[in-house]
Structure 1
Amino acid sequence: MKTKLLFLLLFVNLINAQTRYLEVKIKDKESNDDIKSATIIEDSINSSLFTFLEEEKVTYGFKYNHHRLLESKITSEGLKRKYKSIIGSIVNNNKVRLLETNNKNTKYASILFDFDTEISEETEYSFKLNPYDYYLQTYSHEDKCYMFTYNSQTNKLCKWTFLLDGSYKKDFYDLKDNYSWVNNNSKNHFKEEFQKVNNKLPNNLIVTSKEYKMYELKDGFIWTLDDNIDYTLIIEFKAPEFDPIFTKIFQTKQELNPKTSNSYLFDDKIAQITSNNSYLNFEIKDFESKNVIKSFSITKDETIDFKNGPILQEGSVYSFGNTRELEKTSKFLRKISKENNGVSVYPQNGNYRVTIGGIVELSGGGGMMMPGFGAFPMYQVGGFTMSFNPAGFAFGSYSSTGSTRIECLFDSEFNHLDGEIKDNVFDKITKYKDRMSNLKADNVYFLNNKVLFGFYKPYYKSYELVLFE
């Protein structure tokens, strides 16, 4: 009895140490099944908050107003089990439609939650993507959800517009006739899913080393493709038409052969790196003008004077999944040249925390190597597409990078700063989580520029959202 009381007091103290943002109570929950996943959606127009808690065969939906007061709820049997990957949402007033797909991204369905009538309605779409169609990504905006696919036979990009009533339409963009961005140095564009990146959060190299990335904006989004060693291909989609606009940001000319390259968007800037086993070049450029703001380069015989701390290698077969330190720059360059290189820039306390390095990807697209987990698919954890919630994936992969990397600290003008790098918001959530036990459906969400950590408490039949600054 004393042990239970002590645990309860500890739990209360932990909650009180952070700001409780919302507690979702499932008062009509009859089964003993745990909640296995949670989806949080915000209506950007009126700041309503929709929370969907899913157990094995039942989905509980809740609508909260902008004061976070419960207005209505729905209990639904949900979609068929083959549709368990949420890829998009459509919100209008008291209705939410979730767009879902199967594990292969070939068949699609949606479910409408009507919080006025407190009923749900399922729609299974008759279309199916063929082997020449590639699912790329979705973008939810106001009362529509846009899905993009690419057909390798016709070389056409297809924009699917899904509406709240369950209908959809298609628009095509003929890339072959209208764009001349493909050259012999490029790989096969548009044949893999774009990784969504929230650049307001910490992102490790598992996320940023991807060659195909997507950055969501308030009124549009940007795709970046780094499968060409000479430039980053930028494709901008702006509301309301969301037609693709193609530009290139070239890497600074270097005599690197062979070499690998990558980029990362943040604020109004772009970071680009090129490297091989004897040289690395790292630059910060203004995104609009493409002018170089700051440039750093190292050779294998030089020390890295802009890093804060040692060269780290995680997940090595030689270190049995632990972290070890590398002494020589030549080893660092040799390691990341054999891997997918990447860079991550995170604004922190008026400065910038930068991670540079590489990460091993399994052949055949099996996923990234993560210590203790083997192949970790970039796009999926459990039954849900993590790209729908890039904050959740960024946090889930944050502590297990399987990378070779350096950490750096710069001021607002990208002058190197000495000193120890302080904890970021993910470090704080990790410490908070490590002091708790038996968490269910825990995840991280980024809503209205707020970072929330959510978890299910089986004893109380409630889902807790805690705010982290």
Structure 2
Amino acid sequence: MIKNIVSAVLISFNVSVFCQETLVSFQNDLKTSSSDIKDVIPVVNTETDEIAFFVADAKNVYGYKIDANFKVSEKISSEEKRRKFKVIIGSSASKDDSYRVFLTNKNQTDFASVRFSFKDGSTSLKEFSIDKNETFIQTVVSKNKFYLIAGSRLHNSLSIYTFNENGDPQKNNINVTDLRFIDTKGKNKNLTSLLVEGDDLNKFEENTPNSIELTSEFRKMFVRDHTILITLDHHKMFTQVLQIDLNTLLATSFQFRKPKLGEKAKRTNSYLNGDYLFTLATTKNEFTVEILDFETGNLVKEYSATKNDSITFKNTPIMQEGGLLDSYRELGKTKRFLGRIANGNTGLSVRKVKNRYHLTIGGYIVQNTGGGMMMPFGGIPIGSIGAVTVFFNPTQIAFNSFTNNKTTRIESLLDTDFNHIQGEIEENAFDKMKEFKSKNKGGTVFKYKDFFIKARYNSSSKDFNFKKFTD
């Protein structure tokens, strides 16, 4: 018996070690002050596979360039840091071995960029502005270039700012006057109003684990093939999509019809993965998931269950997690599952992993701790450690999104033809990272090629450690 237990422990240990490996360790030797680290900013150069890793304390910024073989090849130190620019909104990489980090102030009214040149060891800060009648919406980094999206509610206008090698902005007007969007009641509504109302617009990376807390939002932005795709789910019967081609800066719009059940549903939602849009509608009595071809809108597959059915296409129990006591429960009946998700914020997330689709379907209720509502993303405010903002590093946002809110969910596995298949849900990269938590400031998580990197900092030795994690 003891022999079996030891064997099981060794197998578990070997699997854990195999799933993560140290890519690089280096000392933050440019830092001589005793002040705490405020931000770490990973910038991946998608053309050279290099990583520019910037570390900021109260006064200075220290930069380390890590080559494609995960060796620290160059270093740079800068005092170019202005207190009013606290929110990191994006980055860009140039062919002249320089990197630029873009920032804004707390009110998102003033902007600046800091250029770091590893070639000549120089840094420089440049301030810029957008039109006074415009509201800052979101940013995009694609093919190493930075794009800033802004809009005017007054004129229902949308613009994208591009930047040259010197960091100078150029405003590009996006023609949206002929695009029709509707509000919750089906009446025409200005696109810009839909984009700027409520909370900030979140970005989602393809096949990154995302919690129901994130995916239950009505507005989502995806970037693929140098194209921006913004999905809007505030209408119960339609998913509305804004598409902007970054090559031509032309905008188009289209709609997808949600499950018919949406007419009775309190909440509906959708999630985009690859060539397919996954839609969800739920009531207290039943729920439906439809998979639509993103090019044609045609229905590819449908799954549904009523409160009296067993959910035959799930690969997990009905799980309830979180809450004030951080408890875990399994709910036996579909009726209880529907009762939980229909009363909360409902959503689904989809990842394609190892040639299978992994669906998470559920809802969550924001917990009241007595001191007010819980903050999203684990209580981490904008501009805090690890550059956690809704504008920069969506991987870190996704990692932090698994909060203490009470979440009810099921998980399912589908093959490439969207037929349900049996099998256990394997740990994803984020699950494996939990064993490597650190309380030291200066840690972050970011995506590199087709895997994830967790950076940890040891404040005593001033060492950074990059570990690789895969699903």
Q: Same fold (TM over 0.5)?
A: yes
Aligned match for 1:41, one of 12, 18, 43: 43
Instruction: Write the distance in 1 (CA, Å) between the matches of 2:367 and 2:164.
Output: 38
Letter in 1 for 2:86: K
Instruction: Write the distance in 1 (CA, Å) between the matches of 2:412 and 2:186.
Output: 31
Write out aligned runs for 1:222-237 (5 A): 222-237=229-244
Write out aligned runs for 1:342-361 (5 A): 342-360=347-365
Counterpart of 2:22 in structure 1 is 20
CA contact (8 A) 1:150 1:157 kept: yes
Deviation at residue 117 of structure 1 after TM alignment: 2.2
- SS, match of residue 324 in structure 1: strand
Q: Residues 79 and 163 (structure 1 numbering): CA distance in 2 closer, same or farther, change over 3 Å?
A: farther
Deviation at residue 347 of structure 1 after TM alignment: 2.3
Decide which moves more: 112-121 or 379-388.
379-388
Counterpart of 1:164 in structure 2 is 165
The one-character-per-residue Cα deviations of 1:114-163 (angstroms, maximum 9, x if unpaired) are: 22221211122255755xx4332111234642111222111111212233
Q: Residues 152 and 255 (structure 1 numbering): CA distance in 2 closer, same or farther, change over 3 Å?
A: closer
Counterpart of 1:4 in structure 2 is none
CA contact (8 A) 1:256 1:275 kept: no
Q: Residues 308 and 47 (structure 1 numbering): CA distance in 2 closer, same or farther, change over 3 Å?
A: closer
Instruction: Write the distance in 1 (CA, Å) between the matches of 2:69 and 2:326.
Output: 46
CA contact (8 A) 1:35 1:54 kept: yes
Counterpart of 2:224 in structure 1 is 217
Deviation at residue 16 of structure 1 after TM alignment: 9.2
- The alignment covers a number of residue pairs equal to 444
Q: Residues 417 and 401 (structure 1 numbering): CA distance in 2 closer, same or farther, change over 3 Å?
A: farther
Counterpart of 2:82 in structure 1 is 80
CA contact (8 A) 2:265 2:281 kept: no
State the percentage of identical aligned residues. Answer: 30
Counterpart of 1:442 in structure 2 is 443
Q: Residues 372 and 233 (structure 1 numbering): CA distance in 2 closer, same or farther, change over 3 Å?
A: closer
- SS, match of residue 357 in structure 2: strand
CA contact (8 A) 2:19 2:469 kept: no
- SS, match of residue 179 in structure 1: coil
**1:408 and 2:412 correspond:** yes
Instruction: Write the distance in 2 (CA, Å) between the matches of 1:285 and 1:255.
Output: 15
Q: Residues 39 and 385 (structure 1 numbering): CA distance in 2 closer, same or farther, change over 3 Å?
A: same
**1:245 and 2:252 correspond:** yes
Counterpart of 1:274 in structure 2 is 281
Counterpart of 1:5 in structure 2 is none
Q: Residues 371 and 330 (structure 1 numbering): CA distance in 2 closer, same or farther, change over 3 Å?
A: farther
**1:111 and 2:114 correspond:** yes
CA contact (8 A) 2:113 2:126 kept: yes
CA contact (8 A) 2:63 2:77 kept: yes
Letter in 1 for 2:51: L
CA contact (8 A) 2:30 2:62 kept: no
Give ranges in structure 2 of 5+ residues lacking alignment.
1-15
Instruction: Write the distance in 2 (CA, Å) between the matches of 1:359 and 1:457.
Output: 35
Instruction: Write the distance in 2 (CA, Å) between the matches of 1:369 and 1:173.
Output: 37
The one-character-per-residue Cα deviations of 1:179-203 (angstroms, maximum 9, x if unpaired) are: 1223543685112432111122211
- SS, match of residue 296 in structure 1: strand
Backbone CA RMSD of aligned residues: 2.9
**1:32 and 2:34 correspond:** yes
Deviation at residue 258 of structure 1 after TM alignment: 4.3
Letter in 2 for 1:350: N
- SS, match of residue 441 in structure 1: coil
Instruction: Write the distance in 2 (CA, Å) between the matches of 1:355 and 1:441.
Output: 31
Counterpart of 2:320 in structure 1 is 313
Counterpart of 1:179 in structure 2 is 179
Instruction: Write the distance in 2 (CA, Å) between the matches of 1:465 and 1:289.
Output: 42
Counterpart of 1:285 in structure 2 is 292
Q: Residues 257 and 321 (structure 1 numbering): CA distance in 2 closer, same or farther, change over 3 Å?
A: same
Q: Residues 370 and 296 (structure 1 numbering): CA distance in 2 closer, same or farther, change over 3 Å?
A: farther
Q: Residues 376 and 143 (structure 1 numbering): CA distance in 2 closer, same or farther, change over 3 Å?
A: closer
Instruction: Write the distance in 1 (CA, Å) between the matches of 2:68 and 2:62.
Output: 20
Instruction: Write the distance in 2 (CA, Å) between the matches of 1:137 and 1:214.
Output: 9
Write out aligned runs for 1:373-388 (5 A): 381-382=384-385, 384-388=388-392
**1:91 and 2:119 correspond:** no
- SS, match of residue 442 in structure 2: strand
Instruction: Write the distance in 2 (CA, Å) between the matches of 1:102 and 1:173.
Output: 25
- SS, match of residue 34 in structure 2: coil
Counterpart of 2:142 in structure 1 is 141
- SS, match of residue 385 in structure 1: coil
- SS, match of residue 308 in structure 2: coil
Counterpart of 1:7 in structure 2 is none
Instruction: Write the distance in 2 (CA, Å) between the matches of 1:372 and 1:244.
Output: 31
The TM-score with structure 2 as length reference comes to 0.85
CA contact (8 A) 2:239 2:255 kept: yes
Q: Residues 276 and 199 (structure 1 numbering): CA distance in 2 closer, same or farther, change over 3 Å?
A: same
The one-character-per-residue Cα deviations of 1:227-268 (angstroms, maximum 9, x if unpaired) are: 111111122222312322211111133363243111111122
CA contact (8 A) 1:350 1:411 kept: yes
Deviation at residue 223 of structure 1 after TM alignment: 1.2
Instruction: Write the distance in 2 (CA, Å) between the matches of 1:27 and 1:376.
Output: 28
Instruction: Write the distance in 2 (CA, Å) between the matches of 1:338 and 1:247.
Output: 29
CA contact (8 A) 1:201 1:391 kept: yes
Instruction: Write the distance in 1 (CA, Å) between the matches of 2:170 and 2:376.
Output: 43
Aligned match for 2:103, one of 100, 104, 108: 100
Decide which moves more: 146-155 or 233-242.
233-242
Q: Residues 369 and 300 (structure 1 numbering): CA distance in 2 closer, same or farther, change over 3 Å?
A: farther
Counterpart of 2:398 in structure 1 is 394
**1:339 and 2:340 correspond:** no
CA contact (8 A) 1:205 1:401 kept: no
Q: Residues 376 and 336 (structure 1 numbering): CA distance in 2 closer, same or farther, change over 3 Å?
A: farther
Write out aligned runs for 1:362-373 (5 A): 369=374
Q: Residues 246 and 118 (structure 1 numbering): CA distance in 2 closer, same or farther, change over 3 Å?
A: same
The TM-score with structure 1 as length reference comes to 0.86
Give ranges in structure 1 of 5+ residues lacking alignment.
1-13
